Amino acid sequence: MISAIEPDWSREKIIRGWYEPGKYLLLTIRKYQRQQLKKNFFSKMISPFLVVQHRFWSAVSGADIPLNAKIGGGLMIPHPNGIVIHPDAAIGPNCLILQQVTIGNGLKPGLPVIEGHVDIGAGAKIIGNIRIGAHARIGANAVVISDVPEASTAVGIPAKVHHNYR
């Protein structure tokens, strides 16, 4: 089983010869965040170029994932079109996010916290101050406005937890 704690960086590795704009977008975000931690002259010089790269790959991929996003390692976004992530939402390691997913604020003040190895189906909306437990699954087009326990599946509008799949 894939870990919910230790990131599997091979999931973000770019395979030579494949066109994977989502992975290039993530690579640009990772490079930018590393440069921001260094705070030296070289970092200040290269950061504007990384911002331009980020804007390019955001436009190509059709995703809105900010440079300061709190994303754990091993994120997979095989079809990044339409993915929107609030900069203060937290996403754990080894998650899978499919196309047209929105993660952001809603009626409850605060932002979602998504633990490790969560699979989020196409078109899902995760909004408000909620927690998605490790190894959970969010069904396609689900609108999640309440907590989802670890190793559970949530589907529907509004999403309801149906069963544990472990």
pLDDT tens-digit readout, 121-164:
999 999 999 999 999 999 999 999 999 999 999 999 999 998 76
DSSP 11-35: GGPPPTT---HHHHHHHHHHHHHHH
Q: What is the model's pTM?
A: 0.93
Domain spans in the chain, listed from the N-terminal domain onward: 9-164
Residue-level pLDDT at 16: 84
**Does pLDDT of 6 surpass 70?**
yes
Report the distance separating Cα 166 and Cα 156, nearest Å: 20
The CATH code for residues 9-164 is 2.160.10.10
